[in-house]
Amino acid sequence: MDKNSHFKRYLKLDLLPTPWCPGCGNGIALKTICQAFDELDIPKQGTVVVSGIGCSGRSAGFFDLDSVHSVHGRAIPVAEGIKYANDALNVVVVSGDGDLLGIGGNHLMHAIRRNTNITVICYANEIYGMTGGQVSPTTPHNIKTLTTPQGNPDYPTDVQSLFKHHNCFFARTTAYHLNHMKKCFLEALKFKGFSFVEARTMCIVNYGRRLGYKNSNEMLLHYKEFYKINDNAEELAQNEIGILKSTAVS
Amino acid sequence: MPKQLFQGNEAIVMAAEVAGLKFFAGYPITPASEIIHALVNKEHIKALQMEDEIASINAIIGASLAGLKAMTATSGPGFSLMQESIGLAHMMEVPLVIVNVQRVGPSTGMPTLPAQGDVIQCIHGSHGDYFPIVFYPNSVSELYQYTVAAFNAAEESMSPVILLSDGYISHLYETIVPHRDFTIRPRSRPPLGTGNRHFTGLSHEESVPQTSDVDNYRRLITRFREKQLMAARRHNYYEYRECGKETDTLLISYGALSRVAYYFKNDFALYRPIRMFPVVDEIKSIAPRYKRLLMMEMNMGQYAHEIERILHRDIEFIPILGGRIDLKEIKQKIYGQE
């Protein structure tokens, strides 16, 4: 069997290569999404992928199904409009942390409140990569970026806290933990209600190399060493990845 | 069918239903809120209150692509927030109807006295070049009629059509005949989930983003312009009344203020654009018959500048600011001190 059949099934191969830099983690997430789609046998007709703006925003255009590339920060309300218009569609948002948590943060908060039955996959690379490397909502404290030359004075958004009192799905995973990433995507896609996966993907060109990483492999090894899998947690610690399904009553 | 008493905003809702509205998303704002109030009670229309106007416009873009005729309604502040995604809807060719019930600006202004300050925002509010179709009725029965026209024009042009109103017209109660005698355009493209199309705000050729092909971009914008003009020509709405007696003056006005202009019908010829944009061609043949062009609008000359630009001649302009329409004051401004 062709071990690449999943992405041959779901991607427009003639549009490759992607515009992403060598060593970028987005491709890992994109391929893993295809694996999850394939495993669940998600039909191409009847599925819509929506993106916002940024490196991650270019994901939607590569799917061999109807897709929408909206403006910066607005992928979630576009996806909600699609879902409310036609409940039979599988609607998946693929976008970045700057897009979903920064400029579009308000929409995320309210999509959680509405518990709209869509899946949001967030490539969280800790940086605004496409614009050259500015501080983003997931950049850790003290990290130097183009706009925080003295180090980030703020702390990153704790996305999971938004989900605390809602009957939604939250997961965190990384591009190193491939099986875990696939598991998170599968569970999120199967979840009835709003599901969100914070997928840590590495940006070597506009982030990692400035922090002293020699290549993206070193960033992956950092994920390996730093993150521990904890799929039974009620709350994930900063160095934990795992799945939280809120037990809050809807 | 008997005449019935309706408010302007109610007429918009009834007409939208006749035109096939199935999805509405909006955010509360005076003087447009009656529209969402009425729509949430309709059984066959999904009407959502979103967290802001940005979410509203993007939700109706999604819903329209997913197959439903979609609309939002707002006033100036919300319309400003929607601008970026109005550009997106033009780039992705998404049929929508956007109702803007104007109020005094800029910013929060004088809540919520009526104004006509969003006229230029309709065509230049978003960045880049786009060519929206804009209607501006002046009565409750016209709101009914042109709401249906807006939905049809949206499908014909595959673009967001703007229906302008103002605090006066939308809150006015008048008797109308709510007939259903309209030709209704069907949806212009198959819904999402039926193909492998990519809808993008990037410059594109068919479904494929083209971010460095300049010639393709030029073709795209030229096609948009031609498409919009062609669709607009089906909706050549304006009102022209010659004067009973000899006059050298044409009085131009629109929306709420044009109702006051009727008072001067025995002294001046009257012209009222209903399709505000693209500007109706007939003004070019009507205006040369008059030596004096007089124009009043509830802003500092937004449309007057547009007409001056098109006619290459000066207009005597009377601004009626701050939402107060006072006949005595207008007479004084038109005839001078008496």
On whether the CB atoms of residues A102 and A82 are closer than 8 A, the answer is: no
Give pLDDT, residue B337.
66
The CATH number of the domain holding residue B76 is: 3.40.50.970
Q: Which residues of B touch A86 (CB under 8 A)?
A: 66-68, 191-193
Q: Are residues B108 and B29 in the same domain?
A: yes
Q: Does B201 touch chain A (CB under 8 A)?
A: yes
| pLDDT cut 70: percent of chain B above it | 99
Which residue from A158, A163, A161, A68 is spatially nearest to A115, judged by alpha carbons? A163
* Dist CA B251 CA B92 (whole Å): 39
Residue B319 pLDDT > 60, yes or no? Answer: yes
Q: Is residue B30 part of a domain?
A: yes
- Span B16-25, average pLDDT: 98
Would the CB atoms of B194 and A109 count as touching at under 8 Å? no
* Dist CA A155 CA A153 (whole Å): 7
Q: Is residue B204 part of a domain?
A: no
Residue B312 dihedral angles phi and psi, to the nearest 5°:
55, 40
Round the average pLDDT of chain A to a whole number and report it.
95
Q: Is residue B140 part of a domain?
A: yes
Q: Is residue B213 part of a domain?
A: yes
pTM score = 0.97
Query: What is the DSSP annotation of B74-125?
Result: E-HHHHHHHHHHHHHHHHHT--EEEEEEEBS-STT-STT-B--TTHHHHHHS
Give pLDDT, residue B37.
98
Q: Are residues B154 and B294 in the same domain?
A: no
Q: 3-state SS of chain B: helix, strand, coil percent to 5? A: 40, 20, 40
Q: Is residue B195 part of a domain?
A: no
Q: Are residues B222 and B311 in the same domain?
A: no
Q: Is the peptide bond before A156 cis (omega within 30 degrees of 0)?
A: no
Would the CB atoms of A89 and B61 count as touching at under 8 Å? no
Q: Are residues B253 and B139 in the same domain?
A: no
* Dist CA A59 CA A99 (whole Å): 13
Q: In this predicted model, what pLDDT tens digit does every residue of B25-66 receive, in sequence order? A: 999 999 999 999 999 999 999 999 999 999 999 999 999 999
Q: Is residue B242 part of a domain?
A: yes
Residue B95 pLDDT > 50, yes or no? Answer: yes
Give pLDDT, residue B9.
98
Q: In this predicted model, what pLDDT tens digit does every residue of B102-154 receive, in sequence order? A: 999 999 999 989 999 999 999 999 999 999 999 999 999 999 999 999 999 99
Give pLDDT, residue B136.
98
The ipTM value here is 0.96
Q: Are residues B318 and B220 in the same domain?
A: no
Q: Are residues B225 and B247 in the same domain?
A: no
SS3 of residue A67 by DSSP: strand
* Dist CA B97 CA B216 (whole Å): 28
Q: In this predicted model, what pLDDT tens digit does every residue of A79-113 receive, in sequence order? A: 999 999 999 999 999 999 999 999 999 999 999 99
Number of structural domains (chain B) is: 2
Q: Are residues B242 and B151 in the same domain?
A: no
Q: Does B199 touch chain A (CB under 8 A)?
A: yes
B37 CB burial (10 A radius; 0-12, 13-18, 19+):
middle
Residues of chain A with pLDDT under 70: 1, 246-250
Q: Are residues B300 and B318 in the same domain?
A: yes
Q: Are residues B225 and B251 in the same domain?
A: no
Greatest distance between any 2 Cα atoms in chain B: 70
Among the partner residues A50, A66, A79, nearest to B196 by beta-carbon distance: A66
Q: Is residue B73 part of a domain?
A: yes
Would the CB atoms of B199 and A67 count as touching at under 8 Å? yes
Q: 3-state SS of chain A: helix, strand, coil percent to 5? A: 35, 20, 45
Question: In chain A, which residue ranges form alpha helices assigned H by DSSP?
Answer: 5-10, 26-39, 75-85, 97, 105-114, 178-190, 216-226
Write down all domains in chain A, each with its CATH number in brackets.
5-245 (3.40.50.970)
Sequence-distant (6+) residues with CB within 8 A of A205 are A21, A23, A24, A129
Which residue from A38, A36, A56 is spatially nearest to A1, judged by alpha carbons? A38
Q: Are residues B96 and B228 in the same domain?
A: yes
Q: In this predicted model, what pLDDT tens digit does every residue of B271-304 receive, in sequence order? A: 999 999 999 999 999 999 999 999 999 999 999 9
Would the CB atoms of A81 and B54 count as touching at under 8 Å? no
Range of the domain at B251: 238-335
Q: Does A1 touch chain B (CB under 8 A)?
A: no
Round the average pLDDT of chain B to a whole number and report it.
97
Give pLDDT, residue A165.
84
Give the gap in angstroms from C-alpha B65 to the nearest C-alpha of chain A: 7
Q: Is residue B76 part of a domain?
A: yes
Beta strands A90-96; A127-128: pairing state: unpaired
Q: Which residues of A touch B198 (CB under 8 A)?
A: 60-61, 66-69
The CATH number of the domain holding residue B323 is: 3.40.50.920
Q: Are residues B135 and B175 in the same domain?
A: yes
Q: Are residues B227 and B131 in the same domain?
A: yes
Residue in A closest to B22 by C-alpha:
A85
